[in-house]
């Protein structure tokens, strides 16, 4: 029998403990509980007394309870036990507990000390997601160079074709490819921003929303019309674009959101159906809606559909599409929401704050006239890119030679005079920094241009041997402007 002083200390501990404390007999009935246990379970304290422990576990928790009891009987004490508990209202939560087997008044009882670890789990999941996103950003940085090389080849060849295209239909087709290549480059940058987010509002311009939506419809036509017809299904896409206010944003990023929603709608209707794309102004925001009458999304999945790496699709889908789309919307000061009913359809609504800025009059981007004939050395370990850049420079009226190896590079640098040197940054045996340095050592007036697919090639360190950095994929307009700048610098 305990002394009055010991009993008082025990009662004080039970009353003030932040963790739930339960005494349970060998049959699983609760003999005693403290206020924290009542708070955690949702039961009144007097309701807990005599309640079977199984009532505090999920319906399928019987096997787990027997396994844990056997472990405690064997060891007399188990710490760090984790599981799932059930509140009175049926909701479930994760817990961590320690269990001791005791002898009280000649009776075997189990003392359970438990705590709700919901918040800790959330922190752990957030930390894990942050690590995943960091790893994704590092991977994206590594593949950006190769991916942008491919885009440079596509974009450069398309722009060379555009310079000679005569018929309007051919020009429209080539411009669609050109826009897709440029948007592809933005995709790489968006993924990289998960590791190093771009400040909200950076690179934002006045945007005409309906134009963005029309572009997204055109670029996804291959999926909702051509591929669907090939698969023997009919997908009808209807647009209802009302006059809407201007917004401030990044057009390529917004096209990505709408295109992604249209492609998701196609996947939700494997047997065909209808997609409705609409725009309207709702007070201080502009809204874009993409609806389908497909299979719909369950309530549980709607709660998680915007999580990174969560996907309901089979195969190798990474589950990043909607996560990226919502991140873009929020970076624009807006949001992306979903409303869905299983077997009836889904509607995604993109909202962006309206702006009073006016969209400037669009003019055709023209290649600036060359202000001289430059002698240009192109250095890249990819022969296809070297040849393309040479053809682009020759189309601009310049003289160009190419080097694919370090040996060829130094031979040409030491043999001929060059007004401009264009070099790739990342190559197997030599870096672009070294090429630029060697060019400046031979002739300090040589204008050096670094081509890169990396997000931040300089970082915090200045590189005086490089006069200009161009990000891949480089356009023929950008290339022409850079060469003109180089000639002005050299001759002036």
Q: What is the pLDDT of residues 269-291, one digit of tens each?
A: 999 999 999 999 988 999 999 99
* Judgement on whether residues 312 and 426 belong to the same structural domain of the protein: no
User: For residue 484, what is the domain's CATH number?
Assistant: 3.40.50.2300
* Judgement on whether residues 349 and 260 belong to the same structural domain of the protein: yes
Reading the block at residue 491, the tokens are: 């001759």
Give yes or no for a contact between 56 and 33, defined as CB atoms under 8 angstroms apart. no
The pLDDT > 90 percentage for the chain reads: 35
Between residues 348 and 367, the one the model is more confident about: 348
* Judgement on whether residues 356 and 419 belong to the same structural domain of the protein: no
* Alpha carbons 391 and 375: distance in angstroms, whole number: 13
For residue 222, pLDDT beyond 50:
yes
In three-state secondary structure terms, 135 is helix
Q: What is the mean pLDDT of the chain?
A: 83
pTM of the complete model beyond 0.75: no
Range 207-211 contact pairs with CB under 8 angstroms and sequence separation of 24 or more = 207/246, 207/247, 207/248, 207/249, 207/250, 207/251, 207/254, 207/359, 208/246, 208/359, 209/244, 209/246, 209/247, 209/254, 209/279, 209/286, 209/288, 209/352, 210/241, 210/243, 210/244, 210/279
pLDDT, position 264: 92
Average pLDDT of the residues in 387-407: 92
pLDDT, position 308: 66
* Judgement on whether residues 457 and 313 belong to the same structural domain of the protein: no
Specify if 216 maps to a domain. yes
* Alpha carbons 186 and 181: distance in angstroms, whole number: 9
What length does the chain have?
A: 492
* Judgement on whether residues 297 and 227 belong to the same structural domain of the protein: yes
Reading the block at residue 112, the tokens are: 């359970």
Question: Where does a domain end: 363, 386, 403?
Answer: 363
**Domain range for 392:** 375-491
Question: Where does a domain end: 324, 341, 363?
Answer: 363
- Grade residue 315 by pLDDT with cuts at 50, 70 and 90: very low
Tokens 């896409």 sit at which residue? 237
- Could you tell me if residue 444 is left (phi over 0), alpha (psi between -120 and 50 degrees) or otherwise beta? alpha
Specify if 79 maps to a domain. yes
150-203: pLDDT as tens digits = 888 888 888 888 887 778 888 788 887 887 787 777 766 655 554 454 455 557
Pairing of strands 399-403, 335-341: unpaired
State the DSSP code for 202: T
91-138: pLDDT as tens digits = 999 999 888 888 877 788 888 898 999 888 888 877 776 676 666 656
Specify if 251 maps to a domain. yes
Segment holding 80, helix H or strand E: strand 77-86
Cα dihedral 120, 125, 126, 130, rounded to 10, equals 140
């Amino acid at each position: 029998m305990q002394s009055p002083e010991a009993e008082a200390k025990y009662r004080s501990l039970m009353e003030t403990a932040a963790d739930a404390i339960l005494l349970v007999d060998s049959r699983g009935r609760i003999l005693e509980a403290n206020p924290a246990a009542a708070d955690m379970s949702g039961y009144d304290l007097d309701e807990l007394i005599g309640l079977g422990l199984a009532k505090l576990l999920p319906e399928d928790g019987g096997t787990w309870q027997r396994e844990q009891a056997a472990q405690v009987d064997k060891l007399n004490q188990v710490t760090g036990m984790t599981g799932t508990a059930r509140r009175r209202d049926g909701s479930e939560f994760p817990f961590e507990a320690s269990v001791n087997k005791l002898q009280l008044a000649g009776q075997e009882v189990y003392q359970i000390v438990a705590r709700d670890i919901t918040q800790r789990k959330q922190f752990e999941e957030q930390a894990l997601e942050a690590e995943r996103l960091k790893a994704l950003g590092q991977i994206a940085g590594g593949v950006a160079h190769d991916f942008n090389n491919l885009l440079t080849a596509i974009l450069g060849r398309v722009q060379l074709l555009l310079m000679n295209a005569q018929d309007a239909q051919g020009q429209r087709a080539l411009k669609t490819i050109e826009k897709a290549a440029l948007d592809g480059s933005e995709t790489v940058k968006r993924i990289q921003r998960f590791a190093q987010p771009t400040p909200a509002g950076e690179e934002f311009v006045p945007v005409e929303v309906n134009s963005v939506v029309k572009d997204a419809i055109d670029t996804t036509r291959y999926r909702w019309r051509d591929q669907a017809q090939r698969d023997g299904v009919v997908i009808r896409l209807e647009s209802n674009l009302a006059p809407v206010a201007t917004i401030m944003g990044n057009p390529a990023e917004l096209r990505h959101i709408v295109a992604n929603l249209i492609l998701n709608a196609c996947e939700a209707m494997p047997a065909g159906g209808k997609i409705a794309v609409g725009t309207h102004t709702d007070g201080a925001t502009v809204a874009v809606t993409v609806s389908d009458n497909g299979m719909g999304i369950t309530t549980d999945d709607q709660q998680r559909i915007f999580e990174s790496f969560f996907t309901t699709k089979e195969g190798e889908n990474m589950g990043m599409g909607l996560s990226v789309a919502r991140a873009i919307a929020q970076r624009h000061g807006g949001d992306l929401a979903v409303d869905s009913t299983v077997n009836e359809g889904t509607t995604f609504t993109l909202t962006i704050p309206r702006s009073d800025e006016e969209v400037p009059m669009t003019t055709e981007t023209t290649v600036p006239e060359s202000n001289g004939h430059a002698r240009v050395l192109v250095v890249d370990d990819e022969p296809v890119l070297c040849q393309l850049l040479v053809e682009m420079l020759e189309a601009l009226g310049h003289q160009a030679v190419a080097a694919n190896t370090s040996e060829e590079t130094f031979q040409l640098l030491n043999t001929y005079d060059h007004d401009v040197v264009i070099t790739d940054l990342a190559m197997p045996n030599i870096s672009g920094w070294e090429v630029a340095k060697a060019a400046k050592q031979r002739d300090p007036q040589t204008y050096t241009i670094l081509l890169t697919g990396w997000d931040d090639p300089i970082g915090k360190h200045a590189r005086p041997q490089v006069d200009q950095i161009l990000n891949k994929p480089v356009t023929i307009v950008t290339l022409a402007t850079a060469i003109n700048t180089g000639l002005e610098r050299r001759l002036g």
